A and B are shown apart, each in its own frame.
Chain A
Amino acid sequence: MLTREGIARVLRDAGVEVVGEAGDAPTLLRAVRLTKPDAVIVDIRMPPTHTDEGLVAAQTIRAEHPDVGVLILSQYVEPHYALELLQSHPERVGYLLKERIFDVALLIDALRRLADGETIIDPTIVSRLVQRRRQSDPLAELTPREREVIELVAEGLSNRAIAARLFVTDRTVEAHVKQIFAKLDLQADTDSHRRVLAVLAYLRAT
């Protein structure tokens, strides 16, 4: 398919070793078992029914191979799918919109973060959740800097990555996160990767 070949070419050009390509879920699962890759990129729509095969395959891979990261490519700016994925396996999973894949730097960064055990949520989804109209908006309590931090947390960045992104120290980010969680009355463990799920679920529910 057009896109799969394109991605493989982009990745090879960027020096990533592409160990296999598959056109459907069973072939994909066989290839993963055989080649044990660092990460897998999966289209959310897959044959034969083009409904939830991609999501199911991603969850299967995460359940069977805890070391293999899974990046879902989707055409939907739809928090539901991302949350579905995170709820079953909060580590080493990513949900990106399809158009991101040709931004080579972003794609390579995402694969590296997956290999590091991080989580990746497309910024478009996060900003949609953050910008949602709310009747009584608890996010209004946050300072502009805190809003930036919570968005990056929701995108799955670690404190260190956030610090690098905002040109501040790790300790400053830690303080911001603590402050945010206190303001929003979030009980989650601030150091765990589960905080991504906690923040996303919070943004969706309020």
Chain B
Amino acid sequence: MRGIGYRVNAGARLTSAALAVGIALGAVSIARGPASATTYAGRSPLATALTVIAGLGLVVAGLTKAGARPSARGRGWRVVAAGILSFAPTYVAWAGGPPLVRSIAAALTGVTFALVLDLVLRHPTGRAPSRARSAAIAAVYAETGIAALLLALVRNPYLDPSCWANCSVNSFLVSSHPALVRTVDFADLWFVAVAAAGLLGWCATRIARGSAPARRNLVPVLAPAAVIAAGVIARAVALQASPVEDPFDQTLFTSFVIESLALTALAAGLLYLSARDRSAHRAVARVVTTLDEAPEPGSLESALADALHDPELRIAYRVSDPDGYVDPRGWPVDPGAPASSMTITRLARGADTLGLITHRGAVPDLDLQFGAALRLGLENERLQAQVLAQLNELRASRQRIVEAGDRERRMLERDLHDGAQQYLLALSYELRLAAGTARAADDGKTEAILSAAIDDAELALAELRDLATGIYPAVLADAGLTPALRSLADEAPVAVEVHTERSRRYGSSVEATAYFAVAEAIDDAVDRGATAVTVTVGDDDHRLMLALADDGTARTAPPDRIADRVGALGGELACTPGECRLSIPCA
């Protein structure tokens, strides 16, 4: 594990393991010997086994965690402590054992629950939890400490009517106060029960509200914790009814069995999560090796997603132009507020943010797992995303320019019809009136002049109409591409055949681009002496396809004007000397 950025204290782990095994063996001999009638563990060989498995299980899980990431180390040691302290009740009942050991064991009996609560409320990140949860954790530690201290100082086991496992020794006794002991016992019992109820509720809510991926992180720890809490509550209720903690009481023994099993399950859950984290770390470390020499945009993202089994993982790169975050393909994204089940890991170089990874949080401190090669890969992809973002901007701007041009054309066409044409029509009408008047007055000369003027006005109207249609054919907007292309064919100076599979509407800029491409192609064909042009229109769900063929002389230059328009919409144009094929993305 060396070289990933943290050090493992192998000596401390080994010592703890030896200590835990020693304590467990001691607990077995006590439970099977002097305490066989006074402890749960001593009630049967199976109960002893349950106690040992739960305690050592927690120690193993804790040591595994303590050997993992730095952020998890503190929690790891706490789990080790919880495991070792779970043997305390057995040592309390060590009849004939050193009084000091029994007294210390008695004082430490409640600490396991406090440690479990601490562990669970910090799950899964391990970081400082919310203020309310921090306060809850602190309160439980404080209460446990105060109660243990008070009882140590004032509990005289000889005078305790409800004593069972230890009715003889208390090395710390200063003065006996049986009444105070009863009060503290009662208060401690119910404080812990209330804390357990809170823990149970919190676990249930977290599991119920969590998304499916979040639950995979929560259930292995929170479900056993909820059962432990339920066992604590059951024990409190039972002790309220009969204050003597007799292991042969069926209710109390059942709650002991359930708690032990749940502690074992908690240890198993922690081990499972550690193992999963570790395999995720190895997978992250391997990500770089899966990348090609020139990776496609987004391949790092998908490689990481694969490695972490997290299909929702997204990388947002910080770019400066346009200012903001973009995905690996250069499209703007807002990584602002992720879903509650997702975590954001910031990738930084010094004070600069390179990007944000939104992921399920299966791997806490994801960025610390990234080796130099992976960081280089991320840097590379970020630069690529920056370039792609600029390219996307440029494309969008080109498209906006073309669309603005089309809008202008349409407005111009309408203005011609609604303005100039109306006045020409009025003029034509007035001229006819005047001609009628001249005819009535038998003024042949004036009538002839006016007739000529009427003809000119009609010519002007026809010219205006052609001009308006050339600017933007109304039928294109009204009825779509196919009728507009047919009209183009009607007016063309060469034979134009239009083949369409079906007549459907595309976006207005797609239709306009296709229309003007065809118009341009017909003009071009005429220039090259063609007598016939064939236009074939087709489409699939995503692209409009046009094939433009003619019998003119070979094309010497590519049709730039068509290429510009088609390119502005993200389309493609491919020309051979006799034919052009273009495809335009359409919705």
B380 at the interface (CB under 8 A from A): no
The segment out of A45-53, A159-167, A179-187 that lies at the interface is A45-53
Contact between B426 and A6, CB atoms less than 8 A apart: yes
A20 to B22, CA, bound (A): 111
Q: Pick the contact of A128: B414, B423, B478, B491 (CB < 8 A).
A: B491
Does A134 contact B483, Cβ atoms closer than 8 Å? no
Given the known interface contacts A52-B478, A76-B469, A99-B461, the answer about A133 and B421 at a Cβ–Cβ threshold of 8 Å is no
Q: Is B216 an interface residue (CB 8 A)?
A: no
Q: Which chain B residues border A45 with CB–CB below 8 Å?
A: 417-418
B425 touches A2 (CB 8 A): yes
Task: Flag if B429 contacts A102 (CB, 8 Å).
Answer: yes
Taking beta carbons and an 8 Å cutoff, which residues of A are in contact with B? Answer: 1-3, 6, 10, 45, 50-52, 75-81, 84, 98-99, 102-104, 128-129, 132-135, 204
B305-339, CB < 8 A from A = none
On whether the beta carbons of A3 and B425 are closer than 8 Å, the reply is yes
Residues from chain A with a CB closer than 8 A to the CB of B487 are 78-80
- Let me know if A50 and B489 touch, CB within 8 A: no
Q: A2-B426, A3-B425, A99-B428 are in contact. Are A80 and B465 (CB under 8 A)?
A: no
Which residues of A are found within 8 Å of B417, using beta-carbon distances? Answer: 45, 75
Query: Which B residues are CB-close (under 8 A) to A77?
Result: 465, 469
Residue from the list A75, A102, A204 in contact with B432, Cβ < 8 A:
A102
The 0/1 profile, CB within 8 Å of A marked 1, for residues 455-495 of chain B is 00010010001001100011101110001001101111111
Any A CB within 8 A of the CB of B303: no
- CB-CB under 8 A from A50, the residues of chain B are 414, 418
A75→B490 contact, CB < 8 A: no
Given that A2-B426, A3-B422, A3-B426 are contacting pairs, would A79 and B490 also be in contact in the complex, using a CB cutoff of 8 Å?
yes
- A8 and B426 CA atoms in complex are apart in Å by 13
The CA of A133 and the CA of B487, in the complex, are separated in Å by 12
Interface readout for B482-514 with A: 1 if CB under 8 Å, 0 if not?
A: 010011011111111100000000000000000
Question: Are B458 and A99 within 8 A (Cβ)?
Answer: yes
Give the chain B neighbours of A75 by CB distance below 8 A: 417, 421, 465, 468
Complexed CA–CA distance, A2 and B497 (Å)? 40
| B residues less than 8 Å from A84 (CB atoms) | 479
- CB <8 Å contact, B426 and A128: no
Q: Which 10 A-B pairs have the closest CB atoms?
A: A80-B483, A133-B495, A135-B495, A102-B429, A102-B432, A6-B429, A135-B532, A99-B461, A78-B475, A2-B426
- Give CA–CA (A102, B425) in the complex, Å: 9
Chain B residues lying within 8 Å of A204, measured Cβ to Cβ, are 486, 490
Q: Which residues of A have CB within 8 Å of B489?
A: 132
CA A80 to CA B417, docked complex, whole Å: 18
CB closest chain-B residue, reference A125: B490
From known contacts A99-B458, A133-B493, A133-B495, infer whether A78 and B474 are also in contact, taking CB-CB under 8 Å: yes
Collect the chain A residues with CB atoms within 8 Å of residue B426's CB: 2-3, 6
B422 neighbours in A (Cβ, 8 Å): 1-3
A76 touches B465 (CB 8 A): yes
Closest A residue to B483 by beta carbon equals A80
What residue of chain A has the Cβ atom nearest to residue B422's Cβ? A2
| A128 proximity list for chain B (CB < 8 A) | 490-491
What are 20 residue pairs bridging A and B, where the CB atoms are less than 8 Å apart in the complex? A2-B422, A2-B423, A3-B425, A6-B426, A6-B429, A10-B429, A50-B418, A51-B478, A79-B486, A80-B487, A98-B461, A99-B428, A99-B461, A102-B428, A103-B432, A133-B492, A133-B494, A133-B495, A135-B497, A204-B490
Q: Are B496 and A133 in contact, with the CB atoms below 8 A? A: yes
A201 to chain B, nearest CB (A): 11
By a CB distance below 8 angstroms, the chain A residues around B425 are: 2-3, 6, 98-99, 102
Query: How far does the Cβ of A91 sit from chain B's closest Cβ, in whole Å?
Result: 23
Which residues of chain A come closer than 8 Å to B468, judged between CB atoms?
A: 75
Q: Are A80 and B458 in contact (CB under 8 A)?
A: no
Question: Chain B: which residue is nearest A84 at the CB level?
Answer: B479
Contacts of A134 in B (CB 8 A): 495
A99 to B490, CA, bound (A): 21
Q: Nearest B residue to A136 by beta-carbon distance?
A: B495
Q: Which residue of B lies closest to A135 (CB)?
A: B495
Q: From B417, which residue of chain A is reached at the shortest CB distance?
A: A75
Give the shortest distance, in Å, between A199 (CB) and chain B (any CB): 15
Bound: A12/B473 CA distance, A: 35
Closest to A137 in B: B495
A40, chain B: closest CB distance, angstroms:
19
**A76–B473 Cα gap in the complex (Å)?**
9
Given A128-B490, A132-B490, 15 other A-B contacts at CB below 8 A? Answer: A3-B422, A6-B429, A45-B417, A51-B478, A75-B468, A76-B465, A76-B474, A77-B465, A79-B490, A81-B478, A98-B461, A99-B458, A102-B428, A102-B429, A104-B432
Min C-beta distance of B499 to chain A, whole Å: 12
Complex Cα distance, B29 from A116, in Å, reads 120
Inter-chain CA distance A129–B479, complex, in Å, is: 19
In the assembled complex, the CB of B552 is this many whole angstroms from the nearest CB of chain A, namely 14
Query: Which residues of A are found within 8 Å of B428, using beta-carbon distances?
Result: 99, 102
Q: How far is the CA of A129 from the CA of B475 in the complex (A)?
A: 16
A80→B486 contact, CB < 8 A: yes
Question: What is the minimal beta-carbon distance from B464 to any residue of chain A, in angstroms?
Answer: 9
Chain A positions within 8 Å of B477 at CB level:
51
Chain A residues lying within 8 Å of B490, measured Cβ to Cβ, are: 79, 128-129, 132, 204
Question: Would you give the shortest CB distance from A76 to chain B, in whole angstroms?
Answer: 6
Select from chain B the residue with minimum beta-carbon distance to A3: B425
Contacts of B432 in A (CB 8 A): 102-104
Q: Which residues of A contact B465 (CB under 8 A)?
A: 75-77
Q: Which residues of B are found within 8 Å of A98, using beta-carbon distances?
A: 421, 425, 461
Complex interface: chain B residues within 8 A of A6 (CB): 425-426, 429
Could you tell me the distance between the alpha carbons of A75 and B475 in the complex, rounded to whole angstroms? 11
Chain B residue contacts of A51, Cβ below 8 A? 477-478
Which interface residue of B473, B477, B487 has the most chain A CB atoms within 10 A?
B487
**Centre residue among A81, A99, A128, A204 by max chain B CB count within 10 A:** A99
